[in-house]
Copies of this chain bind each other. A is one copy, B any other.
Amino acid sequence: MKMIYFFGGEETEGNAQMRGLLGGKGANLAEMANLGLPVPPGFTITTEVCKYYVKEGRLPEGFEEELEKYLKKLEDATGKKFGDKKNPLLVSVRSGAKFSMPGMMDTILNIGLNEEIVKGLAEATGDERFAYDAYRRLIQMFGNVVMGIEKDEFERHLEEMKKKKGVKFDSELNAEDLKELVEIYKEVYKKHTGEEFPQNPREQLKRAIIAVFKSWNNPRAITYRRLNKIPDDLGTAANIQTMVFGNLGSDSGTGVGFTRNPATGENELYGEYLTNAQGEDVVAGIRTPMPLSKLKEENPKIYEELKRTAKLLEKHYREVQDFEFTVEKGKLYLLQTRDAKRTPLAAVRIAVEMVKEGIISKEEAILRIDPSQIEKLLQPIIDPSVEVNPIARGLPASPGAVSGKVVFSADDAVEMAKESPVILVRSETSPDDIHGMHAAVGILTSRGGMTSHAAVVARGMGRPCVVGCEELDIDEERKEVRVKDQVIKEGEWITIDGYTGDVIVGKVPTIEPQIRGELEVLLSWADEIRRLGIRANADTPEDARKAREFGAEGIGLCRTEHMFFHPSRLPSVQRMIMARTPEERREALNEIFEHQRNDFYEIFKVMEGFPVTIRTLDMPLHEFLPKREELRVEIERMRAKGEDEEKIREKEELLRRVEELYEFNPMLGHRGCRLGIVYPEITEMQARAIIEAACMLKKEGKTVTPEIMVPLVSHVNELRDQKEVIKRVAEEVMKKHGVEIEYSIGVMIEVPRAAVTADKIAKEAEFFSFGTNDLTQMSFGFSRDDYGKFIDVYMEKKILPEDPFSTLDQEGVGELMRIAVEKGKSANPELKVGICGEHGGDPRSIEFCHRVGMDYVSSSPYRIPVARLSAAQEVLKKL
């Protein structure tokens, strides 16, 4: 077993591919050395040695001999001697695992100093202050990392010394002060360990290596691995590297660089530099570092070398690099490099530009972007230059930052929105609030989780939304919200941040990020590659326009509920519901018909040339009427006040109907196709509106393909019943207009029974569209409105790996879908299959849809770019 690998110059033994054995840091140091970059030489002790140590509790046979051999090699490479008084070699010992675990494990610098050598260092550098500062640091780091002495045990003596000397910064202490401090530190060390600080440099080194290996199993590291799903048996490597010093005068310094701007993606050298400083000092915030652009003016030579190095690194790694460097007396050293983290905006720009520069291929560019980040490009953010003081924090349910005046009811929202932007604040929202949510620029609730009604609807509408903000005590009656000791009243400004969940009093400036040209380019490449069709869930012409703008190839779900909720139509809808005979009902429906036809006409016009899937009315009728308990309380109140008997009777009549329609479990109640079956007049009206709108367009020379979708089908006979109604009406309308419309009839598969009987249903259906929201609700028996009561505990106890409403539960719900696709397509090979639930915009769920052989996914307009990218990635991953 080879236990140690050298790096530095031509002797380098490792390379970037050896991350498993050398860790990320070690492999990259070797790679940079291979590239001929100025890496301070050193060697890496493999993860295998660590694993051996962790298992056996001792270092392997022959390790010490190897270590000696490599120390010798390092002395030869540097011309210095480890433990020598005149020309001492100092080294750092750093951990470095296969996967980056920033800050989780330990580092010890300046190993190789002792009472004698520190004097030699002072002489060699001509800087006594520097030498004793290095020695002080070694004692502290070694004491802390190797011996487990709390940092503060040392630091408080440093603070005392500064107080005593009347200075503010460490750097203001002189050599004598530091010598004194070294003495104190040694005593601290002795007091805590019962031994002297080891004076033998080889002992320092060996104990430091063991400490690094042990740090693999410190509690912080274990927790980090669990959270980041990193296996526990990888072990860490230990990197022993020659120390270089950025604090040896004004021709020295230290810095961090990015090969491109990680915030904007601009192709420029980006980073910070601190003259006459060590890496630690940057962190300590003693002085403000200068941007690298300023270094260009101050030290053009180093800047140019850095720039050249950066280009080389990026070209070599084919990815933006984040690197650390030190300048020691005018000489540049690279200490580390790794792939740079970046903003979504930068990620897209970089990927596209790298393709144009010939560095990577289109396919690579597509695979490099995390689809879920794309969404964040499409909403405003709080201006990062402004400092904010949130008064509360909820769950970030729908991205985007927005300011508006507080309103407490949907009706008030509609009213006040005419004057100014409003934020709808409610304890929870219900379908009654849709018009208010539409009118508002943002939604804030005190109850509900990431998939509560408010959250789902807000995401669908692309409205920023914060939910479950439990600190808020909302009094909808008094129109005020209390939080901590503050009271916010209707009409006051607040700002919500759907990225963070923050709630801020007052108006906060926000930035509207533009959809960069690069995103468009990237998505157009994705479109060339993907197999899955991409559609949008869109209920209005505005949504449809948004959808096309974002690249939808049709509408996969057009809900007709909101058309019924429109304030100008609600009275007709309520008349329809109060009707006691089909005739009365038809009359009321007639009043809605023209509106509905116009809605469809407008949507069809926007979607010209594309298919539009329209779902017939799905919502239980009682949702269009006032709530039972509210009516009861109101009547009680009217009675108490002795109000007009006639008025009370009227309310009571309404209550009677509401009682009649009342449902214990509306989710499983009289909704979906069950409405159209009991009241065929409703389906008739909707079919007429759809087909007539299509006929009108056809006469204008435009085509559209309506796909009429029957919701909540559980038995094929339900589809047969509704199909008969739709076909009859369609024939009639087309005959009247003398026009042939291509239309199809299909079902929403959202009931488990439909999935397991898909073969029977497929024989009558032209398409399936999975309504995975309801399918998830019924497969798990989870009500989305109620599961907030236990889901937190479920996540905490790891009963569910993820929230099944955010990411499709492939094991269970997915199994039902797999069965349905298989049975459906084998019974009807022409069957088109898609998904229109919330999951249609979730990358991991899209992967599943691709895998089980669906034809398209449909998502809210704001998630279409995500879906386009994910769909392309799935094709590429399969290759």
A224 within 8 A of B: no
A156 within 8 A of B: no
| Among A69-77, A146-154, A558-566, A626-634, the stretch in contact with B | A626-634
Contact indicator B800/A717 (Cβ below 8 Å): yes
Contact indicator B668/A798 (Cβ below 8 Å): no
Q: How far is the CA of A714 from the CA of B629 in the complex (A)?
A: 33
Q: What string of 1s and 0s marks CB contacts (under 8 Å) between A757-797 and chain B? A: 10010000000000000100111111101110110011001
Contact indicator A640/B632 (Cβ below 8 Å): no
Chain B: which residue is nearest A664 at the CB level?
B785
| Other-chain contact of A665, B672, B714, B785 (Cβ < 8 Å) | B785
A799 within 8 A of B: yes
| CB of A291, distance to nearest CB on chain B (Å) | 51
Q: How far is the CA of A193 from the CA of B797 in the complex (A)?
A: 88
CB-defined contacts of A785 to chain B, threshold 8 Å: 663-665
Chain B: which residue is nearest A777 at the CB level?
B668
| CB of A811, distance to nearest CB on chain B (Å) | 6
| Among A270-278, A306-314, A519-527, A748-756, the stretch in contact with B | A748-756
Given the known A-B contacts A629-B629, A717-B798, A799-B715, are A789 and B663 also in contact in the complex, defined by CB atoms under 8 Å? yes
CB-defined contacts of A816 to chain B, threshold 8 Å: 752-753, 756
Q: What string of 1s and 0s marks CB contacts (under 8 Å) between A118-151 and chain B? A: 0000000000000000000000000000000000
Given the known A-B contacts A800-B715, A811-B757, are A663 and B783 also in contact in the complex, defined by CB atoms under 8 Å? yes
Q: What string of 1s and 0s marks CB contacts (under 8 Å) between A834-853 and chain B? A: 00000000000000000000
Interface secondary structure of A, over-half rule: helix
| CB of A713, distance to nearest CB on chain B (Å) | 10
Q: Which of A432-451 contact B (CB under 8 A)?
A: none
Q: Which of A257-277 contact B (CB under 8 A)?
A: none
Contact indicator A786/B752 (Cβ below 8 Å): no
CB-defined contacts of A811 to chain B, threshold 8 Å: 757, 760
Contact indicator A786/B665 (Cβ below 8 Å): yes
Chain B: which residue is nearest A665 at the CB level?
B783
Tally chain A residues at the interface, Cβ within 8 Å: 59
| CB of A626, distance to nearest CB on chain B (Å) | 13
CB-defined contacts of A752 to chain B, threshold 8 Å: 752, 778-779, 781, 816
CB-defined contacts of A324 to chain B, threshold 8 Å: none
Q: Which of A621-644 contact B (CB under 8 A)?
A: 628-629, 632-633, 636-637, 640
| Other-chain contact of A812, B640, B664, B715 (Cβ < 8 Å) | B715
| Other-chain contact of A632, B633, B721, B777 (Cβ < 8 Å) | B633
Chain B: which residue is nearest A776 at the CB level?
B753
Contact indicator B670/A799 (Cβ below 8 Å): no
| CB of A623, distance to nearest CB on chain B (Å) | 11
A669 within 8 A of B: yes
Q: How far is the CA of A753 from the CA of B667 in the complex (A)?
A: 18
A712 within 8 A of B: yes
Chain B: which residue is nearest A793 at the CB level?
B678
CB-defined contacts of A115 to chain B, threshold 8 Å: none
A-B pairs, top 4 by smallest CB distance, nearest first, are A668-B783, A640-B640, A629-B629, A665-B783
20 A-B contacts, Cβ less than 8 Å apart? A629-B629, A629-B633, A636-B636, A664-B786, A665-B665, A665-B666, A665-B667, A667-B667, A667-B668, A668-B668, A668-B777, A669-B789, A677-B790, A678-B789, A714-B779, A717-B798, A717-B800, A721-B799, A752-B752, A753-B813
Name 20 extra pairs, CB < 8 A, besides A664-B667, A668-B782: A629-B632, A629-B633, A663-B785, A663-B789, A667-B667, A668-B781, A668-B786, A669-B783, A669-B786, A670-B789, A678-B789, A715-B799, A717-B798, A721-B797, A750-B781, A751-B779, A752-B781, A753-B813, A756-B816, A757-B815
